Amino acid sequence: MSDQNSIIVDLKFGRDDVAKALKTAFPGRSVIDLGDPTQKDIDLSQASYAVVWKPDPSLFSRAASLKAIFSGGAGVDHVLSVPGLPNLPVVRFVDRSLTDRMSEWVVWQCLHHLRHGFAYARQQRAKTWNEIGGQPEARDVTVGVMGLGVLGSDAAQKLKTMGFNVIGWSRRKKEIAGVETFDVATLDDFLARTDILVGLLPLTAETHGLFDRALFSKLRRDGVLGGPIFLNAGRGGSQVEVDIIDCLRDGTLKAASLDIFEREPLSTESPLWQMDNLVITPHAAAASDVRALFRHVEEQIQRVEAGQPLQHVVDRSVGY
Ligand code: NDP
Ligand code: OXD
C-alpha cells in the first residue's frame, strides 16, 4: 500500500545495483521497487514520486497522485515518449560523475582517432613494428561539439585542455570561454570547420535523423586527419545508420565511434559490427550510478518539502 511519502522505483537496468542501493537510499520514506517481483502489484495510488527508466505506460494510471517524475538518466526521451504521461514536472539526472565519465569517453575517442588507434591495433595483431609517419597535434584538429548542455560543454572544456581546437553548436548560442560557438542558423559554417564531429544531443523531434549523409558531406575534408570523423554518444535516433555505413565505406567519413544505436542492443546482423574504421561501445559512455541517482532524487524531494523549486526540469515544449 502506498502513501504520500512513497517513492516508486521503476528502473529497467542494473537490478542488483538498484536493490543494493535501495537498502540505504531514502531513509524515512517508503519505497516501492517495481523491479522486485514481490512488490510489482502493490497499490501505487497514493505515491508522490517516481524514478523511472523506460517505465511501463500503466505506471501513470496506477500512480495517479504523483507530483514529479525523475528520469533514471540524463536523457528523457524514454520518459517523454511513454503514452499517457501526465502533465507533471519531469526531472533530468545531472551528476558530476556522469558528466566526467562522458567527457572521458569523448576525449578517449578523439585521442584514439588522432593517434592512429586503428592502424596501430592492426599492426600489433600482425606483429608489425612500423612508426606511422605524421604525428599531428591536437591543436591541428578542430573538434565540433553538437549539443552544448551539461555534457557537451564539459566535454568541450576538457578537449580544450587536451589542446584540441574546439567549436560548439547548440539551439541557442552559448558563451564558453575559448570555444567559438554557433547556432542553428550557422550550422553549415560550423560543419565546414569541423574535423571530428561529436554528437551530444538529446533525441527530440528536431534532432531525429539529423546525422545523415547530407550533414556528413558538409564536414571539412582537407584537415590533417585525412577525412572527417564522427563520434556519437547522444541518442541513436539522431543518426541514420544506413548512411553511416555507406559513408564509412565510401570515405565520406574516415572513421567513427558510436556508443548509441537506432535499436539497442545493436543486432548481431548489423553491418556496423564488421566495419574496421568504427569503434563500438554498448551505450556505456556514461552509465547512471544508481546511488548518485537516488541521492539526487532525495535532494530534489527535500527541496520541494522546503518550498524550493525542483532543478533540472525538462522543457516539454522542446523535448529535453
Ligand atoms: P542538456 O539538456 O544539458 O543539453 C542538451 C544540448 O543540446 C543543449 O546545448 C541544447 O541546446 C542542445 N540541443 C537540443 N536540441 C537541439 C536542437 N534541435 N538543435 C541544436 N541544439 C540542440 O543535455 P545533456 O548534455 O545532459 O545530455 C545530452 C544527451 O546525452 C542526453 O539527452 C542523452 O540522450 C545523452 N546521454 C548519453 C549517455 C550515454 O551513456 N551515451 C549518458 C547520458 C546522456 P540549448 O543549449 O540551446 O538548450
Ligand atoms: C542517459 C543514458 O540518458 O545513460 O543517462 O543514456
Per-residue burial over 40-64, b = 16 or more CB atoms within 10 Å of its CB, e = otherwise: eebebebbbbbbbbebeeebbebbe
Domains and CATH numbers, the chain: 7-93+288-305 (3.40.50.720), 96-280 (3.40.50.720)
pLDDT at residue 46 above 80? yes
Q: What is the pLDDT of residue 214?
A: 99
Q: Which residues line ligand 2 (CB under 6 A)?
A: 73-75, 288
pLDDT band at 25 (very low <50, low <70, confident <90, very high): very high
Tell me the per-residue pLDDT of 233-245, one tens digit each, with 9 for 90 and over. Answer: 999 999 999 999 9
Beta strands in 44-172 (DSSP E): 49-53, 68-71, 90-91, 142-146, 165-169
Q: What is the pLDDT of residue 2?
A: 83
pLDDT at residue 1 above 80? no
Between strands 49-53 and 68-71, the pairing is parallel
To test ligand 1's pocket by mutation, which of 167, 188, 200, 261 has the most ligand atoms within 8 angstroms of CB? 200
Q: What is the pLDDT of residue 4?
A: 85
C-alpha cell at 204: 527530440
Provide CB contacts within 8 A for 320, sequence distance 6+. Answer: 75, 76, 149, 202, 204, 314
**How far, in Å, from the CA of 203 to the mean position of ligand 2?**
11
Residue for cell digits 576538457?
158
Q: What whole-number distance in Å separates Cα of residue 21 and Cα of residue 289?
A: 10
Active site members: 235, 283
Tell me the per-residue pLDDT of 72-100, one tens digit each, with 9 for 90 and over. Answer: 999 999 999 999 999 999 999 999 999 99
pLDDT band at 3 (very low <50, low <70, confident <90, very high): confident
Tell me the per-residue pLDDT of 151-167, one tens digit each, with 9 for 90 and over. Answer: 999 999 999 999 999 99
Q: Is the pTM of the predicted complex or chain greater than 0.95?
A: yes
